[in-house]
Amino acid sequence: MLQIKDLKAGIEDNQILKGINLEVKAGEIHAIMGPNGSGKSTLSAVIAGNEDYEVEGGNITFNGKDLLELDPEERAHNGVFLSFQYPVEIPGISVSNFIKTSITEKRKAQGLEPILTKDLLKMMREKMELLSIKQGYLSRNMNEGFSGGEKKRNEIFQMAMLEPKLAILDETDSGLDIDALRIVANGVNKLRSEDNATVIITHYQRLLDYIVPDFVHVLYNGRIVKSGGAELAHELEEKGYDWVTKEEDKKWA
Amino acid sequence: MGLIENLKSYSEGVQISTEKKELFTSFMSKGFPTTKDEEWKYTSLKKIVTKDYNIENTGEIIDSSTVEKYSLGFDNRIIFSDGKLIGSPNIKGVSVNGFSNFGSNTTDSILQLNKALAQNGFTISVDKNTVLESPIEILFFSTTENNFSQYRNLISVGDNTEVKFVERIQALNDSTSMVNNFTQINCAKNTKVEYNKIQNNTPESRLIDTVNVYQEQDSTCEINTLIFGGSFTRNNLNFEQNGSNCESNMNGISILDDNQLADNHTFVDHKSAHCRSNEMYKGVYLGHSKGVFNGKIMVRPDAQKIDAFQSNNNLLLSDNSTIDSKPQLEIYADDVKCSHGCTIGQLDENALFYMRSRGIGIEEAKAVLTYAFASEAIENISVEEVKLLAQKLLAHKLNVDLDFSL
Ligand SMILES: Nc1ncnc2c1ncn2[C@@H]1O[C@H](COP(=O)(O)OP(=O)(O)OP(=O)(O)O)[C@@H](O)[C@H]1O
Ligand SMILES: [Mg+2]
């Protein structure tokens, strides 16, 4: 589904991603861990098409398409979804209208008629139930005044509504209390299928207790320096990043 | 000829009192303000007053379907056709009358002209201890081509009373008509008054609109100004706080395109202690449009513990649009909280990327963000029908497709 080859990207003169290689197949769950500032959010931003970052080398293909050639909205239409580490507040536009607009735009790009309001409301109610979201939330302004946890839950709600093929969850677990974590994890698990894939960026093992990854990668200094199975996350939790990063530092010293 | 000549020949044919004659003479000696006048520095009347206008109203009868087209459908409606009162509601505790010849001292030439020539308008008195749930809707229609009308209105609200108004001035033809509208609102003790102005007139219409609000203690008065239409709009809102614990609120949006001009001049005169004022004005400028904002806040020496907040935020969405924004603070008391901000902004890049990443195309995302930006200033309107109309007009003008049933 997603192939990233030797991806190099940065901002101005600062190279942040220094050659990333990653392959994600349909049905898989990947976890990316790594110390602060290692480039995890940059990688997700580049995949989603944030033009602040300049791609200096390498390529990304998504279901056979050259992803780097597409605008952010076209990537979304093709099934890429990014749950933001820091979701943006948009005062003046309600959650329901925001979601309606994004679904309408996606359907338009696919040559489909706009969704009927009653179908949209039905779908929203289902997904709200799945994520234990309270009534009244739909008419609030997008992320405005939301608590950290509410913002994250709103990201997963949008994911549930947009049904992406590839979802990248950038620290969706941080800011969630233990109940919310379970609800969100449960939601992600229910939305899993053979046709979609999930990349989870996290600092904590606890989310991975609920969503068990097929692969775990350690990103450090703009490179994936170690990959393994679910057990790698446990090992990192025990030993910290040092045992991986020290070796890496030696290599580039 | 031009408007001054039209006025002159009109005045020669009418009988007016000596007092009015004096006012008229005073107006004629000054004429309309020019850009040399500090209060009119950025807004030129020159093009407007060089045209010819009909001063006399010679209107046609309008049918009820026309009224319904522009009404928001409230039960209580005051309807004028070419200045003639053609509909007046019966409301318990409220007396509604036509024009009354109330006075006011003014050196403003436009208000002198208004006082001298106005023969049309409404007079509303609301009794003490009255709470009106449903707003009073005021509709001014004009059918005369190239008409220049003066409306002069008085609202007196008794103690402990709560009342809301919705006003709309509407030309029923596409000529270059102009209105000089003046409204005085007297808010007695412990009153709550909300006045909504829907300014969505025909593309060639012009408006000079002045509201003077006099507030007694514990009163709250809010004026919402929603500018979508008209080629030229000048609003003067003047609040005078004459007792403690008064609150004066103003919200405004201007969504302009083509060659439209809208100028909002506000003035809050804080004369008493423990009072507040809040102003939130938002402007979106497309095409060759032009916006002006001038917000004056005066805090008199004895007016301690004043909280005055003013903001004017603007988006210039075309290279040919302009905005002149000027806060004017005169503070003579020392225990005062006063904040003001004026921004001329671009759309938030982070928000744009966020929306695009959700599949919303860049043009739509920009339009939605522009809508979101402007709608903040209409969020506090308590009359749902007005708020919804404003949201719809906003969405329509910005070409965004939002579902208001959601
Ligand atoms: N827009 C930007 N401007 C300047 N520097 C940036 C920008 N975005 C990222 N960087 C820098 O790139 C590096 C990687 O940042 P990134 O946000 O990708 O890290 P991260 O792995 O997501 O960290 P965290 O775990 O704290 O979220 C950091 O040093 C950061 O300061
Ligand atoms: Mg990050």
Instruction: For residue range A73-107, list pLDDT tens digits in order.
Output: 999 999 999 999 999 999 888 999 999 999 999 99
Neighbours of A77 (CB within 10 A): 19
pLDDT for the residue numbered A221 = 92
Find all residues with CB under 8 Å of B186, minimum gap 6, and list them.
B154, B155, B156, B157, B214
Our answer on whether the CB atom of A54 is closer than 6 Å to any ligand 1 atom is no
Number of structural domains (chain A) is: 1
Q: Which ligand is nearest to the CA of A32?
A: 1
* Average pLDDT for B372-382: 91
Distance A41 CA to ligand 2 centre (A): 4
Nearest CA in chain B to A77: B359
d(CA B378, nearest CA chain A) in Å: 10
Chain-chain contact of B406 with A88 (C-beta, under 8 angstroms)? no
Mean pLDDT of chain B: 94
Share of chain B above pLDDT 90, in %: 86
Judging contacts by C-beta atoms under 8 Å, the chain A residues touching residue B406 are 94, 96-97, 100, 117, 120-121, 138-139
Range with the largest mean pLDDT of A152-161, A196-205, B95-104, B234-243: B234-243
Q: Please tell me whether residue A21 adopts helix, strand or coil conformation.
A: strand
Our answer on whether the CB atom of A196 is closer than 6 Å to any ligand 1 atom is no
pLDDT for the residue numbered B406 = 66
Q: How far apart are CA B254 and CA B262, in angstroms?
A: 7
Report CA-CA distances (Å) from B242 to A212, B153, B157, B246, B250. Answer: 69, 21, 15, 8, 18
Chain-chain contact of B406 with A94 (C-beta, under 8 angstroms)? yes
Residue B315 pLDDT > 80, yes or no?
yes
pLDDT for the residue numbered A238 = 84
d(CA A47, nearest CA chain B) in Å: 10
pTM here?
Answer: 0.85
Nearest CA in chain B to A114: B401
Q: How far apart are CA B29 and CA B32, in angstroms?
A: 9
Q: What is the pLDDT of residues B160-176, one digit of tens each?
A: 999 999 999 999 999 99
Contact (CB, 8 A) for B166 and B196: yes
pLDDT for the residue numbered A242 = 85
The residues facing A197 across adjacent strands are A166
Q: What is the pLDDT of residues A138-165, one digit of tens each?
A: 989 999 999 888 899 999 999 999 999 9
Q: Which ligand is nearest to the CA of A34?
A: 1
Distance B107 CA to ligand 1 centre (A): 62
By a Cβ cutoff of 8 Å, what residues of chain B touch chain A? 348-351, 353-362, 364-365, 368-369, 371-376, 379, 401-403, 405-406
Burial of B269 (0-12, 13-18, 19+ CB in 10 A): buried
Tokens describing residue A145: 């005044």
Confidence of residue A13 (pLDDT cuts 50, 70, 90): confident
Q: Which residue's CA is the nearest one to ligand 1's atom 13?
A: A37
Q: How far apart are CA A248 and CA B231, in angstroms?
A: 68
Contact (CB, 8 A) for B283 and B293: yes
pLDDT for the residue numbered B5 = 94
Q: Which residue's CA is the nearest one to ligand 1's atom 7?
A: A11
Distance A37 CA to ligand 2 centre (A): 7
For residue A239, the domain's CATH number is 3.40.50.300
Find all residues with CB under 8 Å of A78, minimum gap 6, and list them.
A62, A63, A65, A67, A70, A165
Looking from the CA of residue A39, the nearest atom of ligand 1 is 18
Nearest to B358 among A89, A91, A158 (CB): A158
Residue B292 pLDDT > 80, yes or no?
yes
Confidence of residue B45 (pLDDT cuts 50, 70, 90): very high
pLDDT for the residue numbered B125 = 97
Q: Please tell me whether residue B273 adopts helix, strand or coil conformation.
A: coil
Chain-chain contact of A92 with B376 (C-beta, under 8 angstroms)? yes
Chain-chain contact of B406 with A48 (C-beta, under 8 angstroms)? no
pLDDT for the residue numbered B69 = 96
Q: What is the pLDDT of residues B387-399, one digit of tens each?
A: 999 999 999 999 8
Q: How far apart are CA A6 and CA A17, in angstroms?
A: 9
Our answer on whether the CB atom of A39 is closer than 6 Å to any ligand 1 atom is yes
* Average pLDDT for B53-80: 91
Find all residues with CB under 8 Å of B295, minimum gap 6, and list them.
B265, B266, B267, B279, B281, B310, B312, B326, B327, B328, B340
pLDDT for the residue numbered B401 = 79
Confidence of residue A10 (pLDDT cuts 50, 70, 90): very high
By a Cβ cutoff of 8 Å, what residues of chain A touch chain B? 48-52, 71-73, 75-77, 81-82, 84, 87-94, 96-98, 100-106, 109, 117, 120-121, 138-139, 158, 162
Place of tokens 């739909």: A138
Our answer on whether the CB atom of A12 is closer than 6 Å to any ligand 1 atom is no
Q: What is the pLDDT of residues B250-268, one digit of tens each?
A: 999 999 999 999 999 999 9
Q: Where are the domains of chain B?
A: 3-346, 347-406
Confidence of residue A50 (pLDDT cuts 50, 70, 90): very high
Distance A10 CA to ligand 1 centre (A): 10
Q: How far apart are CA B1 and CA B159, in angstroms?
A: 49
Confidence of residue B40 (pLDDT cuts 50, 70, 90): very high
Closest among A39, A47, A41 to A4, alpha carbons compared:
A47
Residue A248 pLDDT > 90, yes or no?
no
In A63-219, where does DSSP find H-type helix? 72-77, 95-109, 117-130, 148-162, 178-191, 205-210
pLDDT for the residue numbered B260 = 97
Confidence of residue A135 (pLDDT cuts 50, 70, 90): confident
Domain assignment of residue A55, given as a range: 2-252
Q: How far apart are CA B94 and CA B314, in angstroms?
A: 39
Nearest CA in chain B to A71: B356
Contact (CB, 8 A) for B217 and B189: yes
Provide φ and ψ at B357, rounded to 5°.
-65, -15
Q: What is the pLDDT of residues B186-243, one digit of tens each?
A: 999 999 999 999 999 999 999 999 999 999 999 999 999 999 999 999 999 999 999 9
